[in-house]
Amino acid sequence: MERVDVIVFAAHPDDAELAMGGTIARLSKEGKKIMIADLTEGEMGTRGSVELRREEAAAASKILSVNIRENLKIPDGNILLSDDNLRKVVGLIRKYRPSIIFAPYKNDRHTDHIDTFHLIKKANFFAGVGKYSVIIDGQQSEFYRASKIFYYMQTYEFDPTFITDISAHFQEKIAAIKAYGSQFYSPGQTGPETMISSKGFFDYIEARAKVYGFRIKKEYGEPFFCEEDIELDLSNYLKGF
């Protein structure tokens, strides 16, 4: 059983790259084992197809040096807080035993993102409940709970708990997003215009990264929220952490 340091849960393929692609690239370069778990295949998307999104997700994962990517194939647009879905996510957490989980923030324009927040929060709690039974590969799984859930920003903004410096990895983030040519602006692509398919959307992505980078005196940054207190190691900070 391969253990990972981080699981990034996303409602749709491309959510992880958009919200925290720079942080994923940074952690990967620092030697951390990263897994992206997409809950749906994005089959309700206005543009593209499931098959194309699979290819795009694989290409984006390679750019960000993601170790493992899985899709739970929960119906797009219907991410229910059901027992079946809960057991799928609990099984993943217990199988890969991440130290940290990333998930969407609790309020957003897309209701799938909100539903994902609730599902992941409940799943991480019940993953640590010994009497909650989930079978993995024919065997009863051992209870395990990630130490923290950090929530990433999508459309709606929030006051972040912390901001990561992605200055050295911003171009990898952009390259990973551009791997989804069916969803975002790409010369020669056809299909209905959406909020994210315009050429100007990349300007928005850069502007947001610059704003949060400016707040920590860096070129580019990505914001996160935690519902719990986080310890700050001042000795590392004073070394230029």
Distances (CA, A) of 180 to 70, 211, 215: 17, 24, 29
pLDDT at 182: 73
pLDDT band at 1 (very low <50, low <70, confident <90, very high): low
The ranges assigned to domains in the chain are 6-224
pLDDT at 241: 47
Better-predicted residue by pLDDT, 241 or 173: 173
pLDDT at 31: 97
Pick the closest to residue 230 from 150, 154, 146, 137 (CA basis).
150
Q: What is the mean pLDDT of residues 108-133?
A: 97
CA pair distance 158, 227, nearest whole angstrom: 12
Say which CATH architecture domain 6-224 belongs to.
3-Layer(aba) Sandwich (3.40)
pLDDT over threshold 60, residue 90:
yes
pTM above 0.85, yes or no: yes
* Cross-strand pairs, 101: 7, 149
pLDDT at 197: 65
